[in-house]
Amino acid sequence: MNERASKNGVPPSVGVDVSGIEALLNRNLPEVFGEGDPARRRSAIQELYTEDCVLYVPPGTFVGHDALDKFAGDLRATHPHYVYTPHGSPQVLHNSGRLAWGSGPKGETPAYTGVDFIIARDGKIAALYVYLDSPPT
C-alpha cells in the first residue's frame, strides 16, 4: 500500500473534526428525514446543511435547502409512522462519513435499509448520497 502525506508531512485526515461529522450523520436521520414537523425539519436543515447542498437519491438530484426540505417532507408524508434507526456507528474519513440505517415502524424490523454518505464543508453537510439496499415499500 502506498501511503502519502500532504505537502507539510501531516496525513490529510489529521485535524478533521471527526465528532462533528459523526454528529451530522446521527442528527440528519431523525431531525431531517424522520421529522414530521415542517418548522423543526427546516430549522435542522439550515443548521446541518450548507445553503448550496446537494442531495443525491435514486429519484434524482436536489439542490439547496428548499429542494431538500420538499423531498424530505414528501418522503416523510408517505411513511409518517416510520423511524430511522442507525445500524452501527458512523465512519469518518477526511471530510466524509457514512452511516448505515434502517427505516420502518418503531420496534419492528426495518421495511427498508440504506447507507448515507456525506461530504462535509465548514462543519455542515455539502452533499448527501443515499444508497438504498432495497426500495421503500
Kindly tell me if the per-residue pLDDT of 84 is higher than 80: yes
Q: Average pLDDT, stretch 86-115?
A: 95
Kindly tell me if the per-residue pLDDT of 45 is higher than 70: yes
Q: What is the overall mean pLDDT for the chain?
A: 90
Name the 3-class secondary structure at 111.
coil
- This prediction's pTM: 0.86
Closest CA relative to residue 18, chosen from 90, 75, 110: 90
- Cell numbers that stand for 86 in this block: 442507525
Is residue 119 within 8 A of residue 126, CB to CB? The reply is: yes
pLDDT tens digits, 1-14: 444 444 455 444 55
DSSP secondary structure, 48-103, as one string = HEEEEEEEEETTEEEEHHHHHHHHHHHHHHHSTTEEEEE-S--EEETTEEEEEEEE
Is residue 94 within 8 A of residue 12, CB to CB? The reply is: yes
| Interaxial angle between packed helices 38-48 and 18-28, expressed in degrees from 0 to 180 and rounded to the nearest 10 | 160
- Using CA atoms, how far apart are residues 75 and 33, in angstroms rounded to an integer? 8
Sequence-distant (6+) residues with CB within 8 A of 137 are: 111, 112
- Cell numbers that stand for 25 in this block: 450523520
pLDDT of residue 9: 52
Kindly tell me if the per-residue pLDDT of 126 is higher than 60: yes
Name the 3-class secondary structure at 124.
strand
pLDDT of residue 10: 46
Kindly tell me if the per-residue pLDDT of 61 is higher than 80: yes
Q: Average pLDDT, stretch 98-118?
A: 95
The DSSP element (H or E) to which 75 belongs, if any, is: helix 64-78
- Using CA atoms, how far apart are residues 116 and 21, in angstroms rounded to an integer? 12
